[in-house]
Amino acid sequence: MKYNQLLKVSALLSSIFLVSQKNFHAKNNNRISTTKTASLLFLVLDIGSRVEGRGRREAYSGEVSQDTVAAKSLVLVRPPAADGSNKATNVSLSYNQIVVHEVDDSNGYISVSMWESMVWTDKRLSWKPDDYDGVDKITIPPSYIWLPAISVYTPSSELGLAEDETGRKVVIAADGNVVYVPTKRARFRCDVDLKLFPYDIQVCHLKVGSWVHHQKELNIIGRNFGLHLTGLLVLP
């Protein structure tokens, strides 16, 4: 089922879970036998060779980035359809790892953070792995390429980045498949009724789409929309 400019996210808010972590401690012996020393030396040499190989692949990854991204101006230009035609660019969109920060039942608002997963194909970014020592994917800053401009349509709502995106990367495969998963923070209208708490069921709607591209340019395909989320992490 395809979703065009308006998409609906329905979240079923229930069950709070707590995550606990355990600390593990390891004890080191003060003495190392000759056999252990030899084993340790072998391990260090083995790791060194792997690091050298990894460095070579990183160098080839840099060449891929230079040849496929840096040498082209792709930031402002929407990628063509996967088949090379002038059809709309298909973008798969889903929301995962939803965390509820606040439920304002008095004013009818809910505040959440979530992973906004976007997947699309840009053949301009493809390459042949055999030409680059088998490198089949690279990671680059999102500012280097075109990104879908997803905005919120729900009245009196907000949708923005939840954290500093300096360290965030886009994953690009050799076939031109692009994956971008920024963390978003949303605050939107939700008529909350807590009369049956803690056995209540709340359904909230968030409409998202693109203000920049119309349907003939950008086709948003929703995944997991209408998903009932029964394991949300609710922060105090």
> What confidence tens digit (pLDDT) does each residue in 60-88 have?
556 666 666 655 566 678 887 777 667 88
What is the tens place of the pLDDT at every residue in 157-180? 666 665 655 668 899 999 999 999
pLDDT at residue 187 tops 70: yes
Whether 207 maps to a domain, the answer reads yes
Percentage helix, strand, coil for the chain under 3-state DSSP, each rounded to 5: 20, 30, 45
C-alpha distances out from residue 160 to 16, 67, 137, 230, Å: 25, 32, 28, 24
Whether 150 maps to a domain, the answer reads yes
**pLDDT at 174 (0 to 100):** 92
| Interior/surface letters 104-115, b for 16+ CB within 10 angstroms, e for the rest | eeeeebbbbbbe
Whether 179 maps to a domain, the answer reads yes
Work out the end-to-end distance of the chain between its first and last CA atoms, rounded to an integer number of angstroms: 37
C-alpha distances out from residue 210 to 148, 176, 181, Å: 8, 22, 17
CATH number, domain of 81, equals 2.70.170.10
Task: Name which of 6, 4, 11 is nearest 207 in CA terms.
Answer: 6
Give the CA count within 13 Å in the CB-facing half-sphere of 218. 23
**pLDDT at 65 (0 to 100):** 63
Whether 25 maps to a domain, the answer reads no
Whether 81 maps to a domain, the answer reads yes
- φ and ψ at 140, to 5 degrees? -140, 165
One-letter amino acid identity for 68?
A: T
pLDDT at residue 29 tops 60: no
- φ and ψ at 9, to 5 degrees? -110, 120
Whether 49 maps to a domain, the answer reads no
Q: In whole angstroms, what is the distance from residue 76 CA to residue 147 CA?
A: 9
CB atoms within 10 A of CB 127: 19
- φ and ψ at 176, to 5 degrees? 90, 5
- DSSP symbol at 141: -
Q: Calculate mean pLDDT across residues 5-30.
A: 34
More confident residue, 213 or 226: 213
Which pTM was predicted?
0.65
Give the CA count within 13 Å in the CB-facing half-sphere of 128. 2
Which residues form the domain of 89? 7-20+70-234
Whether 59 maps to a domain, the answer reads no
Whether 31 maps to a domain, the answer reads no
If one counts the domains in the chain, the total is 1
Residue 141: is the preceding peptide bond cis (ω within 30°)? Answer: no
Task: Name which of 111, 112, 179, 125 is nearest 148 in CA terms.
Answer: 179
Residue count of the chain = 236
